[in-house]
Amino acid sequence: MTSAKQTSVTAKFRKMHESGCFVLPNPWDIGTTIYLENLGFEALATTSAGFAFSRGKFDGGVPRDEMLAHIREIVEATVLPVNADFLAGYADEPEGVATNVGLCVATGVAGLSIEDNTGRTEIPLYEKKLAIDRIRAARSAIDASGSGVVLTGRCEAWLVHDPDPFHTVLDRLAAYAEAGADCLYAPGVSKPDEIAQIVKTVSPKPVNILVSGFNHQLSLSQLADLGVRRISVGSGLALAAWGAFLRAAQDIKTNGTFKLMANGAASAELNELFREKS
């Protein structure tokens, strides 16, 4: 049964997709969730990679039930809408995707994404018809729940090094939109003209763009001008934290100096924030 909180945050999340452009940052634990909410963001998204690294696992190496527990933990740590990075739905066949999407909806999320990456190098993307059927199955599971959860259809062509990622993305995202995805997402696209064409192809449905190391030069206002409705950073914040940690740890081991820790967060600031939230 959909809770009052889930009904409220889902309605808010849907409204956010109707106009303008917003940033959907990605925390990877309770502390980063609380901080991002306190900073004033209006919605959050989980990151499969960020969470996996925090558990000493590779992206995609977190079992379904552990991921569901993590998603629920993030949802319960904030009053904001949360979009779940639910990978490929932890199943190949549509029936399994539907079952698992139902479990994800039950965590209280306001949105979730399903991608077409098989995780297998020999066939990196699900065959197109199967990929479409998987989106339809996710849509049906959400509709059956009565939750109104926002479904994002992801095409991973750029991330799996498809030989013609742009045209694969255009073809598939249009099909995912028709199959019931509320929002469309192709992580890896970075050229402004390609982003604009994706937006045009799936219009009037909204487009999510990943901003990471490969397209960090595009600002919020520039992406908004291209018609992008939603911006996420994926594992970017988690990797930024890991980058600072790695550099400081390596400096200690290699040089025997501790100066890189001087740029760390203030313990007093974090203590005050989490004391207020406890």
pLDDT for position 1: 73
pLDDT for position 214: 59
Is 261 contained in some domain? no
The C-alpha atoms of residue 78 and residue 29 are separated, in whole angstroms, by 11
List, as one string, the DSSP characters of 84-106.
EE-TTTT-SSHHHHHHHHHHHHT
What's the pTM value of the predicted model, to 2 decimals? Answer: 0.97
> Can you tell me whether residue 13 is helix, strand or coil?
helix
pLDDT for position 216: 65
CA angle 184, 187, 150 (to 5 degrees): 30
The C-alpha atoms of residue 84 and residue 109 are separated, in whole angstroms, by 7
Is 246 contained in some domain? no
pLDDT for position 217: 79
Terminal CA-CA length for the chain: 28
- Is the CB of residue 118 less than 8 Å from the CB of residue 156? no
The C-alpha atoms of residue 144 and residue 106 are separated, in whole angstroms, by 12
Is 180 contained in some domain? yes
Question: What residue spans of 180-235 are helical by DSSP H?
Answer: 192-202, 220-225
Q: Count structural domains, the chain.
A: 1
Q: Which residue has the tokens 């309605």?
A: 11
Is 116 contained in some domain? yes
Is 76 contained in some domain? yes
CATH number at residue 80: 3.20.20.60
Q: Cβ-count burial of 250 within 10 angstroms (0-12 exposed, 13-18 middle, 19+ buried)?
A: exposed
Q: How long a stretch of residues is the chain?
A: 278
- Range(s) of the domain holding residue 27: 4-235
Per-residue pLDDT in tens (0 to 9) along the chain, 278 residues: 789 999 999 999 999 999 999 999 999 999 999 999 999 999 999 999 999 999 999 999 999 999 999 999 999 999 999 999 999 999 999 999 999 999 999 999 999 999 999 999 999 999 999 999 999 999 999 999 999 999 999 999 999 999 999 999 999 999 999 999 999 999 999 999 999 999 999 999 999 999 987 556 789 999 999 999 999 999 999 999 999 999 999 999 999 999 999 999 999 999 999 999 88
Is 98 contained in some domain? yes
Is 94 contained in some domain? yes
- Is the CB of residue 140 less than 8 Å from the CB of residue 97? no
Q: Which residue has the tokens 């998204």?
A: 45
Measured in whole angstroms, the distance separating CA 176 from the mean position of its chain's CA atoms is 17
* Axis-axis angle for helices 30-39, 64-76 (nearest 10): 40
Is 58 contained in some domain? yes
The C-alpha atoms of residue 4 and residue 48 are separated, in whole angstroms, by 27
The C-alpha atoms of residue 218 and residue 190 are separated, in whole angstroms, by 8
Q: Which residue has the tokens 């499969």?
A: 48
